[in-house]
A and B are shown apart, each in its own frame.
Chain A
């Protein structure tokens, strides 16, 4: 290939493109996966943005002080789950409005993380080092997709948590489709009354789903801060929580579609960077817009009705119809 010799289509540049797509896509994947489960159980979690931010902040601080990225991921996960406890209490337990609570959570977390970060790190603005990557033997030697020895890796050279995330997506897909637990979650979203009648607690099912969503959003945020940026700033999530909500809705309750959507989105973010390096005259704003335009086009032409669980955003009250 004669193009391979010229800069922007060189193996290195293309590897960076793929790596960038994964780096941008993984946080979205985690958050969208969690949101999907929560929506499947009938809880529309608009507070995702706030949960990601809290996960990013706590994860960053834990990784910075603890010196281990795993400590950071764990802390981010717990922080996200902790914030979602509010959602559990307000929306599942007390049946308050999910959208109002979600917006409240997002605003509160935006304020709180900025406040604590400024108070703690106003002068130092610390950064983290690069994360260790696992190169899959054999596959990581492939051109472009391998990424062995590249600074950001590629498909087969990624931090372990990325592989775990992909495995989790498969697991969630399997659980939702094939297990009793998955059936319960789906029933909590489609027919909570029927689930209750079958003797399974709607509250418990939904609570676990919301906690799961919060934990994964927190993990996604921690990934953003620890692996993606290596630092924390109050704009780090920058609307990704809302993008993840849209991705989860568009995935029509199929976890693997959420993964595909997140990666597609990551790719478009990465293409924007790549085009800039390549000095291709294309507006980065346009590239960011592209996935949404595409989705909107699909919705207008084919989508007609996006599938959403019947009881989405409806609090369940025993004994009412």
Chain B
């Protein structure tokens, strides 16, 4: 295909470039149901069968997930969980749309978290709170972005496979974060390997109206607003700006991007830096809004959780929001429900994994009926097949 058609088809980004006349057979609603709702329904159904098989009442379990995630002010926890997950999702959308696999989320996240929890509690005495928090957000983003530089340069310059390099950088990042927490950032007043906790008043302020009198936490922190804003920014960036278009051309076909005269190495680096930046922000919301300090062994491993959502939402930055809310609810409520049912909290992981499997399956069905695929695999495939060019 030629570069002009690639550009033309990409002008409306949420639609995949392969989706052609075939989609009409199914209609937009049917396509949406098949690809974005059905996998969830199937996963929940299979989960229910598994629950019943091990002697747990599935209806009670899902009820518990709901009440543990929403009722009795748990909705605040769920909403606060949305912030880091959404920021990670948004970061993934940028790279995946550019046809690049950033699988090093956890390293970027933990390193950014370690740096700000280490230096933040020292800054807070010297700086006004608002400036301190803003500064820490920027630093976290910068650390997250910095951690993608090596894979970005290696891919841009030598076309070294970014799956290897980001995975390696994530191991290095996790260990480096532990070194930082146990070493220079260690809280001298305790032997537990952890950073000094922030002063309670120095954490992110809460959104007015979300306060709860019955809880220690004042309310949902403003990190949620940052995350939602980031989702809109990325949606705007990817669908309304020239940079977004260029990134998507790169994702659709590296060869087309070259033929169009785009600076491919620079685009690769930009995509990587942006995704690392958002992952860093995610770490900032979790540390400055919820945790207040970091323990050396803390690793929420959000990275793999978010990947399925991003695909379910067809790499749409705003479309991913409901999925993130759902996952946050499931992860907060899932802990409660699992405890009630005497199960391990990892059951939620099983549900996420099943969703992804069913998604792949419905993708296969959808491809036959509607054609096209939103998975970056399609672009990955093309770009590898076309090779260095």
Question: Once the chains bind, are A86 and B167 in contact (CB under 8 Å)?
Answer: no
B343 at interface, CB cutoff 8 A? yes
A268–B334 alpha-carbon span in the complex (Å): 38
Measured CB to CB, the closest approach of chain B to A39, in angstroms, equals 11
CB pair B343 A118 closer than 8 Å: yes
Would you mind naming 11 contact pairs between A and B with Cβ atoms under 8 Å apart?
A90-B364, A103-B308, A107-B352, A107-B356, A110-B353, A111-B352, A114-B347, A119-B343, A286-B175, A304-B158, A313-B377
- When the two chains form their complex, are residues A285 and B359 in contact, meaning their CB atoms are under 8 A apart? no
**How many angstroms between the C-alpha atoms of A284 and B169 in the bound complex?**
17
How far, in whole Å, are A303 and B153 apart by their CA atoms in the complex?
13
CB of A103 within 8 A of CB of B304, answer: yes
Query: How many angstroms between the C-alpha atoms of A182 and B344 in the bound complex?
Result: 43
Stretch at the interface among B21-29, B81-89, B122-130, B379-387: B379-387
Question: In the bound complex, do residue A105 and residue B179 qualify as a contact, i.e. CB atoms below 8 Å apart?
Answer: no
Residue pair B357, A315 in contact (C-beta under 8 Å): no
> Which residue of chain B lies nearest to A286 when distances are taken between CB atoms in the complex?
B179
Q: Min CB distance, A86 to chain B, in Å?
A: 7
- Say if the beta carbon of A256 comes within 8 Å of chain B: no
A187 CB to nearest chain B CB (Å): 16
Q: Are A313 and B182 in contact (CB under 8 A)?
A: no
Beyond A115-B347, A245-B167, A293-B172, 9 additional pairs, beta carbon < 8 A: A99-B377, A100-B308, A103-B304, A118-B343, A234-B346, A245-B163, A289-B175, A303-B160, A310-B387
* Contact indicator B171/A243 (Cβ below 8 Å): yes
Are B350 and A108 in touch, CB under 8 angstroms? yes
8 Å CB contact of B165 from A115, A289, A296: A296
Counting from the closest, the 4 A-B pairs by CB-CB distance are: A111-B350, A107-B353, A108-B353, A97-B377
Asked whether B101 lies within 8 Å of A99 as measured between CB atoms, the reply is yes
Is B42 part of the contact surface with A, judged by Cβ < 8 Å? no
Residues of chain B lying within 8 A (CB to CB) of residue A114: 344, 346-347, 349
- Say if the beta carbon of B44 comes within 8 Å of chain A: no
- In this complex, the interface size class of chain B, counting residues with CB under 8 Å from chain A, is 35 or more
Whether the Cβ atoms of B164 and A246 lie closer than 8 Å is: yes
> Residues of A contacting B54 with CB < 8 Å?
115, 119
User: Which residues of B146-167 have CB atoms within 8 Å of chain A's CB atoms?
Assistant: 150, 154, 158-161, 163-165, 167
Cα A249 to Cα B363 with chains together (Å): 28
Question: Once the chains are docked, how many angstroms separate the CA of A311 from the CA of B104?
Answer: 23
For the A-B complex, the count of residue pairs with Cβ-Cβ distances under 8 Å equals 166
State which of A97, A110, A303 has its C-beta within 8 Å of the C-beta of B360: A97
Known: A115-B347, A243-B171, A292-B168. A313 touches B381 (CB 8 A): yes
A229: Cβ under 8 A from any B Cβ: no
Question: Given the complex of chains A and B, what is the CA–CA distance between A239 and B349 in angstroms?
Answer: 16
How many chain A residues touch the partner (CB < 8 A)? 56
The residue in chain A whose Cβ has the minimal distance to the Cβ of B375 is: A97
Q: B377 near A305 (CB under 8 angstroms)?
A: no
Among B175, B305, B385, chain A packs the most CB atoms within 10 A around the CB of B175
B360 to chain A, nearest CB (A): 5
Q: Does A71 contact B (CB under 8 A)?
A: no
Q: A122–B354 Cα gap in the complex (Å)? A: 24
- Chain B residues engaging chain A, CB cutoff 8 angstroms: 50, 54, 101, 150, 154, 158-161, 163-165, 167-169, 171-172, 175-176, 178-179, 182-183, 304-305, 307-308, 311, 342-344, 346-354, 356-357, 359-361, 363-364, 373, 375, 377-378, 380-381, 384-385, 387
Give the shortest distance, in Å, between B349 (CB) and chain A (any CB).
4
The CA of A118 and the CA of B54, in the complex, are separated in Å by: 11
> What's the nearest-Cβ distance from chain B to residue A316, in Å?
11
Q: How far is the CA of A97 from the CA of B384 in the complex (A)?
A: 14
Which label, helix, strand, loop or mixed, suits the secondary structure of the A interface?
helix
A285 to B181 Cα, complex, angstroms? 11
1/0 contact string of A111-148 vs chain B (CB within 8 Å): 11011011100100000000000000000000000000
A109 part of interface (Cβ distance < 8 Å): yes
Beyond A104-B308, A285-B182, whether A296 also contacts B168 by CB under 8 A is yes
Q: Chain B's nearest CB lies how many Å from the CB of A318? A: 16
Q: CA of A311 to CA of B357 in the docked complex: distance in angstroms?
A: 23
The reply on A250 being an interface residue by CB < 8 A is: yes
Q: Chain A residue with minimal CB distance to B183?
A: A283
Bound complex: CA A48 to CA B74 (Å): 36
Cβ contact of A246, chosen from B168, B183, B307, B361, cutoff 8 A: B168
How far apart are the CA atoms of A289 and B172 in the complex, in Å? 5
Residue of A98, A289, A306 near B377 (CB, 8 A) is A98
Contact of B354 among A96, A108, A246 (CB under 8 A): A108
Query: A246 to B171, alpha carbons, bound, how many Å?
Result: 11
Check A107 against B304 for contact (C-beta < 8 Å).
Answer: yes
CB of B377 within 8 A of CB of A296, answer: no
Nearest Cβ in chain B — how far from A233, in angstroms?
Answer: 11
Query: Is A94 interfacial (CB-CB < 8 Å)?
Result: yes
Residues of B contacting A315 with CB < 8 Å?
Answer: 381
Query: Contact between A110 and B179 (Cβ–Cβ < 8 Å)?
Result: no
Q: Which residues of B sit under 8 angstroms from A101, Cβ to Cβ? A: 356-357, 360
Please state if A285 and B179 are interface contacts (CB–CB under 8 Å).
yes
CA distance A90 to B367 in the complex (A): 14
Expressed in whole angstroms, the Cα–Cα distance for A239 and B288 within the complex equals: 28
Which residues of the partner chain B approach A118 to less than 8 Å between Cβ atoms? 343-344
B167 & A107 in contact (Cβ 8 Å cutoff):
no
In the bound complex, residues from chain B placing their C-beta under 8 Å from that of A106 are 304, 353
A110 to B349, CA, bound (A): 7
Residue of A nearest to B46 (CB): A108
Complex interface: chain A residues within 8 A of B377 (CB): 97-100, 313
User: Are A115 and B164 in touch, CB under 8 angstroms?
Assistant: no
Chain B contacts for A310, CB-based, 8 A: 384, 387
Does A242 make an interface contact (CB < 8 A)? Answer: yes
Q: Does A163 interact with chain B (Cβ within 8 Å)?
A: no
| Inter-chain contact B380/A303, CB cutoff 8 Å | no
Q: Among the interface residues B159, B164, B169, B308, which one has the most CB atoms of the partner chain A within 10 A?
A: B164
Question: Could you say which residues of chain A place their CB within 8 Å of the CB of B350?
Answer: 107-108, 110-112, 115
Residues of A within 8 Å of B363, CB to CB, are 96-97
CB-based contact A300/B154 at 8 Å: yes
Say yes or no: B356 contacts A100, CB within 8 Å: yes
**What chain B residues lie within 8 Å of A183 (beta carbons)?**
none
Contact indicator B160/A105 (Cβ below 8 Å): no
Give A104 to B311 CA distance when docked, in angstroms: 12
Known: A243-B171, A283-B179. A111 touches B160 (CB 8 A): no
